[in-house]
Amino acid sequence: MKVVISAAGTGGHINPGIAIANKIMEKEPNSEIIFIGTNRGLENDLVPRAGYQLKHIEAYGLKKEISIKNFSNIIKTLMSTKDAKKILLEFKPDIVIGTGGYICGPVFNAANKLKIPTMLHESNAYPGKAVKMFSKKADEILVGFEEAKQKLPEAKKVVVTGTPTKIRKIEVSSKRKQEILKELGIRNILPIVLVFGGSQGAQAINKAVEELMIKKLNKDYQIIWATGTKQFDLIKEDLEEKKLNLGAYPNVKMVPYIYNMEELMNICDLMVCRSGAMTITEIAIVQKPAIFIPLPSMSANRQEDNARVLEKLGAAKIILNNELNSEILSKEIDSIIKDEDLLFEMGENAGKIAPSNVEEKIYNEILNVLKK
């Protein structure tokens, strides 16, 4: 099988594409797979690291404001259909798969002109612009949430598969948990709140957690806090300017990035995080309660839509970004973390939407499209 996957920008678009590619290679080791992205996004790290070739075109997300730069980016994105077409003509794929985002525009335009079968995967509960734009022309659309299916009435075929992810529900032994906590310098006697805002971090979440820590509002629980690599040093500098020592807060471990996320998700008691589609899926898989602070958007509140899915199930609480502060966050954490029955119930509820055999379902749908 020869496959082109268009994925660019964030891990939420790229990681599902890599997971799909890995499944194809597992099933058909002689397959040839290339990715199409830009020279700016996270794909330049993640795709080569996963062992796949990345081809570049110049494409940009469309913004509503009127400006010379935005107009120039629109022209460049439209013109890049020619570059995408050249890549497809040289590679001759059996199918083109897109995982959402602006990169799908020129790549799918080129694929449609060349009459190459196309498939889209939408991770969010609210489909993005690219998926909506090509919903009529794509041979099939795969979605992560049932809610997304209802928002694509013009699509030829929509199948709910879930979103592929590397995170699994695992049993972490007591010994291993002790080792993890010892490495982090925190104790095993208090509940654990895992805080993160994605690889880049989330400034609003970081500010609220920093204030919560300084005010010592977390006496009844301890925090493992991933700030994001870019913001880690900024927070340390801010603490130094305030003449505060991070070591004076024993119930907090601040790190720039978490590499053993699967283990920490499985041993924590509660998560505080953004609500990207990948995060929602992972929380459902490990069956943990969450407090979501959705990333606000001017065009569509996709993260809030995602978060509402778990909120309706009684698996999560939501604090809007513009309402977030240390007192509100502390109050929400306290209302959950002190109630063991509630923690268990919310975790069980999250598990109700946990997908199963996602990659296998996606692979089978690819075969169905190719048979047509």
* pLDDT tens, residue by residue, 189-242: 899 999 999 767 799 999 999 999 999 999 999 999 999 888 999 999 999 999
Check residue 30 and report its DSSP letter: T
Euclidean distance between CA atoms 271 and 316, whole angstroms: 9
Mean pLDDT confidence for 45-64: 84
The class (CATH top level) of 174-353 is: alpha beta
Question: pTM of the predicted model, to two decimals?
Answer: 0.80
Supply the pLDDT for residue 66: 66
Q: pLDDT tens-digit profile of 84-93?
A: 999 999 999 9
Euclidean distance between CA atoms 274 and 201, whole angstroms: 10
Q: pLDDT tens-digit profile of 10-42?
A: 778 898 999 999 999 999 999 999 999 998 888
Statement: residue 9 has pLDDT above 70: yes
Q: Residue 218 in contact with residue 250, Cβ under 8 Å? A: no
Supply the pLDDT for residue 128: 82
Q: 224: part of which helix (H) or strand (E)?
A: strand 222-226
Cβ-defined contacts of 357-360 (< 8 Å, 24+): 358/19, 358/161, 358/162, 358/163, 358/164, 358/165, 359/19, 359/20, 359/22, 359/23, 359/164, 360/23
Positive/negative CA dihedral, 140, 122, 126, 67 = negative
For CATH 3.40.50.2000, list the domain ranges present in the chain. Answer: 2-163+355-371, 174-353
CATH superfamily of 2-163+355-371: Glycogen Phosphorylase B; (3.40.50.2000)
Euclidean distance between CA atoms 338 and 271, whole angstroms: 14
